[in-house]
Chain A
């Protein structure tokens, strides 16, 4: 599975949009992009995933570039409860295993 590169940390102001980048330049055609987050001492929480089209759900939006080499997770109105480590993962098809990288530590401040 392709590896991903994310910034180590990001700060975000409460109420503002948080834009989390992820590079996956070696992604192949059948690999999906997934985003999860992990709040301290809890299991990871699913946020969103996509293949090539942009996706939106009640939690976030996922923007994938046309060449699929990078993507951005957008939290439209960050709250203090969005403070967590955010993981961008790519995996093949629907049965592949996840390999977690270091993720991005997002801190939302008042």
Chain B
């Protein structure tokens, strides 16, 4: 299947700092990418839909000013967690839609720990 690369795979940061997570589609172009968050022993929760060249669409309850999404090219979307706090510690996962196949491919995830 197609490859979606997510970086970093894990990050530890201090409370109040910002963290950027990158999501790249390596062998296809993705007009649409998605960002999810997963807490321990829970399912994935969709945070936002990222569209290349336009503003992201956030799910209800997700603060757009805290979780900044940029999708500047057809192969890269970034999620920046601004002023991170311990409650933002979670597993963040991105996916990219391969339109020709109607399939979303997922990255390996980023584990964020905020101290």
Contacts and interface: CB of A to CB of B under 8 A. Distances in A.
A44 B103 contact: no
The B interface is mostly helix, strand or loop, or mixed, namely strand
B114 interface: no
Interface in A52-110: 87, 94-95, 97-103
A43 B43 contact: no
Interface stretch (B63-71, B79-87, B104-112): B104-112
Chain B contact-residue range equals 20 to 34
Contacts of B106: 36, 43-46
Nearest to B43: A100
Contact of B102 (A32, A38, A41): A32
A10 B103 CA distance: 26
B22 to A, nearest CB: 14
A103 B104 contact: no
Nearest to B106: A43
Contact of A102 (B1, B43, B102): B43
Contacts of A43: 4, 6, 93, 95, 106-109
Contacts of A102: 43
Given A42-B109, A43-B107, A102-B43, 4 more contacts: A41-B109, A45-B1, A46-B1, A97-B49
